[in-house]
Amino acid sequence: MLRVGVTGGIGSGKSTVSRRLGELGAHVVDADAVAREVVEPGEPTLGRIRERFGEGVVRADGTLDRAALAALVFPDPEALDVLNAITGPAIADRVAQQRDRVPAGVVSVYDMPLLVERALWVHEHLTVVVETDVETRVRRLVEQRGLAEDDVRHRIAAQATDEQRRAAADVVLDNSGSPEALVAAVDELWARRLLPYEASLVGGTRSRRPDRAADCVVVPRPDWEARAERVVARLAAALAPTGVVTEVSHVGSTSVPGLLAKDVIDVQVGVRRLADADRQEVRDALTDAGYVFSYGNHTDTPHPQGADASDWAKRFLGGCDPANHVHVHVREHGCAGWRFALLFRDWLRHEPAERDAYAAEKRRLLREHESTSDYVVAKEPWFEGAWQRANAWAQRTGWRPR
């Protein structure tokens, strides 16, 4: 089941996006609707709100006076934190119950205003942010919902900034145009990314780049680091309950600024023992996070030549997102393969001449090899010399894995 989080600032239009996804076939859980359910008369959450904020936030008929509560909490960050601590667990439990009932093969959408603020986006396969400039949002809320302008601005100030949401966003939908344009953008997202992603998850097949080297190796892209940070955060969150992970790091060519590379995010997961990667709870966590094990790739090429191959063993997985190709290398913390992945990245980051030499070697091999698989194999002799030079640099500079 593909999990998609939809979020955006108040008045941004995220409800339009979620509604359209529901029309296309997704199962939508609306956090605002759930939040209203958990404070209905008779619910324990309402009693805790009354106890903390007083009788003035409850009407004579026993229902919550939302306007009175909003007037207390939105101008006061500490009061808002208290309210979130009261309502958050109740909302999370009910949302989990509803999403657990979603059948396999159906996209599960979570419409959540505070997805970024509460760092809940790390549990979604994709985060969709609906974005509209602040003044447009203020005007919409005043004109369409009849809210006071000061109230609207207090609410906006209490939420994440556009920059914070973009950092968590896999997809940003611009809602500065017409409603029809927004719906068209949702339809395209559904057809081009969400449905293929869901099919790969259900089928257990990872996304792949075309096996044509000239199409795969590209000039540096400005979004590589941001994409990698989201992958790292999600993997760390998924694997944290297992207790076996020592670190999750962005490695490979896309982790080196200015280096041309295949448009693939490589991530290393360090585990205490490589056998931990074969534990069922770890495998389940990786599968649930959207990664598929590849059983024909269990080792890297040992360096130097003749080195013990067991020190270069790993587990390899690929991501299912058709728009963000990800390779996950699970290695034992401290082994030669784990150390070299970090060393190679840091060496190229700190030695521009070596980075440029590697780029030149890539360009030469691209002229000689048409398929990506042949291109990857052809790079191995260069890596033998690179291993020697990188280790000499580490000894000279005192480099240690962080």
Q: Which of 383, 376, 394 is nearest to 358 (CA)?
A: 383
Query: How many beta carbons lie within 10 A of that of residue 344, not counting itself?
Result: 21
What are the C-alpha distances in Å from 205 to residues 209, 268, 320, 321? Answer: 13, 20, 7, 10
Asked, for residue 402, whether it belongs to a domain, the answer is no
Q: 336 and 189 in one domain? A: no
Whole-number Å distance between alpha carbons of 209 and 372: 9
Looking at the predicted structure, is the pLDDT value of residue 203 above 80? yes
Three-state DSSP state, 217: strand
Q: 192 and 88 in one domain? A: yes
Looking at the predicted structure, is the pLDDT value of residue 377 above 70? yes
Residue 362 annotated as binding? no
Q: 85 and 65 in one domain? A: yes
Residue 13 annotated as binding? yes
Q: Domain containing 17 — which CATH number? A: 3.40.50.300
Residue 270 annotated as binding? no
The pLDDT tens digits for 114-143 are: 999 989 999 999 999 999 988 888 888 888
Q: 105 and 41 in one domain? A: yes
Residue 5 annotated as binding? no
Whole-number Å distance between alpha carbons of 339 and 330: 12
Q: 262 and 375 in one domain? A: yes
Asked, for residue 169, whether it belongs to a domain, the answer is yes
The pLDDT tens digits for 86-106 are: 998 999 999 999 999 999 889
Q: 218 and 197 in one domain? A: no
CB 49, CB 38: distance < 8 Å: no
Dihedral angle over CA of 216, 239, 112, 180, nearest 10:
20
Global confidence as pTM: 0.90
Q: 289 and 248 in one domain? A: yes
Looking at the predicted structure, is the pLDDT value of residue 209 above 90? no
Identify the domain containing residue 219 by its residue range: 214-397
Q: 345 and 320 in one domain? A: yes
The pLDDT tens digits for 75-86 are: 888 999 999 899
Q: 248 and 104 in one domain? A: no
Q: 195 and 259 in one domain? A: no
Residue 14 annotated as binding? yes
Asked, for residue 222, whether it belongs to a domain, the answer is yes
